[in-house]
Amino acid sequence: MKGWLPLAGIGLLAGLAGVSLWLADRHATPPAIEAGPVDASPAAIQSALFRDGDGAPRSLGQFAGKVLVVNFWATWCTPCREEMPGFVKLQSRWQDRGVQFVGLAQDDPAKVAAFGRELGVNYPLWLGEEGVMALSRRLGNRLGVLPHTVLLDGQGRVIESRIGVFAEPVLESRLAAITGK
């Protein structure tokens, strides 16, 4: 009978620990997960046309030679907005090491500009119509969800494609591994 008590205590503690973990994790943001297969050539990725805040045409090819972090996002997407402060910090830390961030959105240009100003976004926020999500889907985003972040090498080849919030430390370690810096 007495032998029960320690075991019962351990069992109870294990149960409580599990419940505590669950409660703590309920509101934690799950990590970004790997997207599906890519169906876009580097040439198609680099030549896809977008426009900047002034309406001028832009394409990812203008950053050839750099490691690109291409982030598909929208102002109405709360998880997208939550990960962007981390991208701003990483752009500052990695811009001299051959890394360039670009945000792509199919969204209201005025809202994109306002959010960019409010957050102090230090990388280009480009816009497009259906072509934005079409490219995202071709880069593995089967479900058409946001945020979707794609790492490209200097030739426009896909290194990694992830959906969900890309946490700053995780992305930074990926950039270190990719650039060797």
Partner 1 sequence: MKKLLPVLATCLAAAASAAPASSDEPLDPDKAFVPTARLVATAPAAAGTGERHGIDVEYRIEPGYYLYRNRLKFELHPANVLTGPPEFPPGIEVDDPFLGKSAIFRDRVTIHIPFAVSMARPGHYRVRIVAQGCAEDRICYSPFVQEVAVNIPPGYRVMDFPATQAPPAAPRGLPR
Tokens of 53: 């805040």
Q: Which residues contact 139 (CB under 8 A, 6 or more apart)?
A: 35, 38, 40, 45, 70, 148, 150, 158, 161
Residue 73 DSSP code: E
Contact region with partner 1 (CB under 8 A), list: 10-18, 62-70, 93-101, 171-179 = 10-18
Is residue 80 part of the contact set for partner 1 (CB under 8 A)?
A: yes
The number of residues that bind partner 1 (CB under 8 A) is 43
Asked if 33 is part of the footprint of partner 1 (rule: CB under 8 A), the reply reads yes
> What is the footprint of partner 1 within residues 81-140 (CB under 8 A)?
81, 106, 115, 118, 133, 136
> Smallest distance, Å, CB 38 to partner 1?
16
Pairing state between β 67-73 and 99-105: parallel
Q: Which residue has the tokens 């494609």?
A: 161
CA dihedral 86, 87, 92, 93 (to 10 degrees): 70
Contact stretch for partner 1 (CB under 8 A) within 21-29, 53-61, 85-93, 166-174: 21-29
With 0-12 / 13-18 / 19 or more C-beta atoms within 10 angstroms meaning exposed / middle / buried, residue 94 is buried
- Least spacing, CB of residue 154 vs partner 1, in Å: 29
Stretch that binds partner 1, among 41-49, 76-84, 121-129, 151-159 (CB under 8 A): 76-84
DSSP 85-100: HHHHHHHHHHGGGTEE
**Minimum distance from CB of 32 to partner 1 (Å)?**
9
Q: Nearer Cβ to partner 1, position 94 or 126?
A: 126
Tell me the window of 40-48, 63-71, 95-103, 143-151 that interacts with partner 1 (CB under 8 A).
143-151
| C-beta contacts of 45-48 below 8 A and 24+ residues apart | 45/135, 45/139, 45/152, 45/156, 45/158, 46/156, 48/131, 48/135
Site residues, partner 1 (CB under 8 A): 3-4, 7-8, 10-12, 14-15, 17-19, 21-22, 25-31, 33, 74-81, 106, 115, 118, 133, 136, 143-147, 163-165
